[in-house]
Structure 1
């Protein structure tokens, strides 16, 4: 039987205390005040980069101050220095020296992690994008290579309440539709990409057994034993460790894809490894196709959870202090 697409053959979900298996993931975590650290630019620095995040009208002063503190902690984890946060009304603005747009965008992500059992999955192909290679005659096009069909087989059955929506989902049209705001206790739909095959796929998922509130630690590290890749090590609180062990124990006895866990971060399925045994010990390892930057960014947002939901604005460049616009 072919393993489901989106994970490599033999990919297994487990805790770091079991050397023979591993949890794989596709892909790499205040108050109104100034941040800590020394400036990463000299006194002659010319610009700062800013991003503004806005909370709902029900946000409290305490919520905003805690969020600003966590945003500074995320920035520090990514190596940003001289980071400043200001709170005005229900908006938090974060600034850093120089061209820091990529890292500021990373720290602004919600960082919501859910581990949901896979009920059904199916390929969700998109139309190939024609490209014209250098030197081709005018009008010549080359179609994108097709994905590997052996790994793109529909599996499982969506529950009745999700069946119609699941069947109708189209990655080309509905890429931004994942049920990010659906309660963790309810089933949900989500998308993910199988980078190794260049395709997207859709999932029907069961209620979450572990979520971000259960994470007490997340750290990026280099895994020499995993072909020299980067990984993120997670630690759960007591409740999360018990729920994770109970859930993985139940899944291990099911046929595929029911024995798979979807690792959902901010509404996107990052990976869906299968389970062979109950995972005890309160820890798990996320590894796979991470670069160092991707692993550090994921670890920074998972380790420093925001107490409220924030809407992100565009990144802007600020002129140096004392200059006219």
Structure 2
């Protein structure tokens, strides 16, 4: 029998440590390069560190609902406001109930406070009302009815509501409702049976003749209010919005466009905001409509929406429009060209990404079970948080220094491996938290800083577990290179179990808590995952390479792996050679 060939064979699981280290360095360089390319060199700070804006909202009873302020409705309002904050791309904001009828919303610095106030601080009573007539937003001292001059009344809105199953049009047909801002693209507008000049409908709800510029069948009192209303000032818009929001759903109202450009006479509420199940902004690349807003209604809301759009589709501008009213102000007034069935609809026409997202957020999170008013709005300073952060960083630095002293005194040369691993973990953590600010709106607050400091101990613990496994193998009489490879599987299991428990605790804490505690849980979970990455892809390959160096392999007294210092027993080494001699014999 031929003798087996003698040759060198790398220890099991050794792999290519140099390639792994290069991969980690490339990842670090990419993350740091991303920081410089985006111009974001520091993490985004939370409200306790950077300051911000605080709103105090007071709940109010609605007409006909004297007992609406209760714990269930308040909790529902808090939940909806949290979703609206997330819809703005804001994180680390605090939405919490205070007492029985107040809600406090704290938004970190760097967020558009005006936009937050409009979407988060509004009372958010959402409704869909049919448009009876509309005109310019300025005050009209004396109406001039003239069949040949209609102003705004003769034009449709630049926005249009269509069903998701509406057909596509290669070239939009001209119609009276087309504008430079948005054009009709549904099959209903191309039907010859629906000319723009008249509806020809015999339904009782349809108007027998085209509406006059002042609006058909509008009570004189409402016409007088419309003429006297001036939407060009913020105060007048707020007054008109409050009156419209407090009106009964069955009463027609006078309202302003949210930007003051138009004023309306609106019919009774056709669809409540609570009937909207979901709404989102989507970019339409197939039909070329640009940014659109897709709405999904509840089963009952879908039937109501189909009924009101069926009636509006038979009318002429502006009475073929419905107004989306938020807190008594019209945020959108799309026109309708067909009955929209199926419980869904699409609003298109001249949207930018921001305006489409704003409207989607209002539709999704607009219907609160209570009315609120802003009792107080204050600017939060970061002085106290800055002092606490300084004290926390000093404490963290002292703790880190003590850890370094202990590592050097006990592990000597191995302390260099631990410190290098800690440095890599710190760079990765800082770069990722910095990039998460503009990416998902992550903000670093005081609890998050505490989570990062706690993670130092978790990461150092992983190194210690691995080092002790290697030293145990040396105590049993093995040399360094096989000790590094044989100690790794046992250390790996311990590290994974420990990190899994830490990550599970962080995940549960993140799910069941809100506000600042979530910052602590998120940072703890992130650093725990990075600990696994650093130990597997940096610490282990680095130890494999150092085991080939004479300083460590021969057990220098300052390497931390001296067999004599560790109490290795030579008889164990003699027993290792016996099987080899037996095989040779």
d(CA) in 2 for partners of 1:202, 1:181: 18
Task: Render the CA deviation track for 1:7-64: whole Å, top value 9, x for unaligned.
Answer: xxxxxxxxxxxxxxxxxxxxxxxxxxxxxxxx95389943243222111376223322
- Structure ranking higher on relative contact order (CA contacts 8 Å, 6+ apart): 1
d(CA) in 2 for partners of 1:168, 1:44: 47
Aligned to 2:231: 171
How far is the alpha carbon of 1:309 from its aligned partner? 1.0
**Paired position in structure 1 for 2:372:** 310
Q: CA contact under 8 A between 1:53 and 1:91: conserved in structure 2?
A: yes
Given the superposition, is the C-alpha separation of residues 227 and 40 from structure 1 closer, same or farther in structure 2, using an over 3 Å criterion?
Answer: farther
2:124 aligned with 1:111, yes or no? Answer: yes
Larger helix fraction of residues: 2
CA 1:229–1:181 in 2, change beyond 3 Å: closer, same or farther? farther
CA contact (8 A) 2:57 2:373 kept: yes
Residue of structure 1 equivalent to 2:382: 319
The answer to which of 265-274 and 183-192 deviates more is 265-274
1:279 aligns with 2:340: yes
Answer 1 or 2: which has greater strand percent.
1
Aligned equivalent of 1:207: 268
Encode CA deviations 1:186-242: one digit per residue, 9 max, x unaligned. Answer: 11111227x8xxx73322111121120111111122233576643321111111111
Q: Quick one: structure 1 residues 104 and 251, their matched pair in 2 at CA, closer, same or farther if it must change by over 3 Å?
A: closer
TM superposition shift of 1:323: 5.5
Equivalent in the alignment of 1:191: 256
Confirm or deny that 1:152 pairs with 2:152: yes
Aligned to 2:30: none
- Find the counterpart in structure 2 of residue 125 from structure 1: 138
For residues 261-295 of structure 1, give each alpha carbon's deviation from its aligned partner in whole angstroms, at most 9, with x where no partner exists: 22323322234343322111111222334333333
Between structure 1 and structure 2, the one with the greater Rg is 2
Indicate if the aligned counterparts of 2:47 and 2:107 stay in contact, CA closer than 8 A.
no
CA deviations over 1:234-253 (Å, ceiling 9, x no partner): 11111111111112112222
Superposed CA deviations along residues 83-111 of structure 1, whole A, max 9, x for unmatched, are: 22332222211223333224532222233
The one of 65, 69, 73 aligned to 2:83: 73
Distance 2:342 2:321 in 1: 19
**Structure 1 Cα separation of the partners of residues 317 and 220 of structure 2:** 19
Distance 1:47 1:175, change over 3 A: closer
Distance 1:77 1:275, change over 3 A: closer
Counterpart secondary structure, 2:50: coil
**CA distance 1:228–1:62, change in 2 (3 Å):** same
Aligned to 1:10: none
Q: Taking structure 1 as reference, are residues 81 and 121 closer, same or farther at Cα in structure 2, changes over 3 Å only?
A: closer
57-66 vs 242-251, which deviates more?
Answer: 57-66
Instruction: Say if 2:301 is the partner of 1:240.
Output: yes
**Alpha-carbon shift at residue 155 of structure 1 (Å):** 4.5
**Is the Cα contact below 8 Å between 2:134 and 2:262 reproduced in 1?**
yes
Q: 1:86 aligns with which of 96, 108, 112?
A: 96
Relative to structure 2, which stretch is displaced further, 83-92 or 56-65? Answer: 56-65
Is the CA contact 1:217–1:303 (under 8 Å) kept in the aligned structure 2?
yes
Q: CA RMSD in A?
A: 3.2
Q: Does the C-alpha gap of structure 1 residues 290 and 273 become closer, same or farther in structure 2, counting only changes over 3 Å? A: closer
Higher deviation after alignment, 48-57 or 69-78: 48-57
**Runs of 4+ off more than 4 Å:** 225-228, 320-324
Unpaired segments of 5 or more residues in structure 2? Answer: 1-42, 62-66, 141-148, 154-212, 388-585
1:132 is matched with none
CA distance in structure 2 between the partners assigned to 1:201 and 1:44 by the alignment? 41
Q: Secondary structure at the match of 2:127?
A: strand
Aligned to 1:137: none
Specify whether residues 282 and 40 from structure 1 end up closer, same or farther in structure 2 by C-alpha distance, changes over 3 A only: farther
Query: Residue 107 of structure 1 contacts residue 297 of structure 1 at CA under 8 Å; is this kept in 2?
Result: no
TM-score scaled by structure 2? 0.40
Q: CA deviation at 1:298?
A: 3.0
For 1:97-148, what per-residue CA distance to the aligned partner results, in whole angstroms no more than 9, with x for missing partners?
3332245322222333322222222334369xxxxxxxxxxxxxxxxxxxxx
Q: Distance in 2 between matches of 1:43 and 1:53?
A: 18
Unaligned runs of 5+ in 1: 1-38, 128-148
Q: Say whether residues 1:56 and 2:66 are aligned partners.
A: no
Number of equivalenced pairs:
261
